[in-house]
Amino acid sequence: MIGQCQPHHRHQEWLKFLRRLDREYPEKLPLHVILDNDGTHKTPEVKQWLAKHPRFVCHFIPTSSSWLTLVERWFEELNEKANRRGSFVSVPDLEKAIAQFLAAWND
């Protein structure tokens, strides 16, 4: 699982994340991305980028779907194990804790 902390949730950050996925996974591997229906994922800039990168297959989930419940459960796990008991003096400290959780999760 790849995670990335961003200060904002705009289409620019979303495109940055998509570009990271594009770089880090083999070119011939199709990438299925499960998304909520946030407007960030549907801007003209994002649609244009996705049209040029057909290996990205987007699946938009309906609100309150079982997929969303699973994603929310995973974030609850992240919060419980990486954040709740922590004391963070800065955003970089919090981001480091999240990155450590992701690394342990992936192992």
pLDDT by residue (tens digit) across 4-39?
Answer: 677 778 889 999 999 999 999 999 999 988 777 677
CA distances from 40 to 10, 12, 51, 52 (A): 6, 9, 16, 18
pLDDT band at 67 (very low <50, low <70, confident <90, very high): low
Q: Dig out the tokens for 85 from the structure.
A: 């008991």
Q: Dig out the tokens for 61 from the structure.
A: 């989930």
pLDDT by residue (tens digit) across 77-107?
Answer: 888 877 776 777 888 888 888 888 888 887 7
Domain boundaries, the chain: 1-60, 75-107
* pTM for the whole structure: 0.62
Q: Dig out the tokens for 74 from the structure.
A: 């995973």
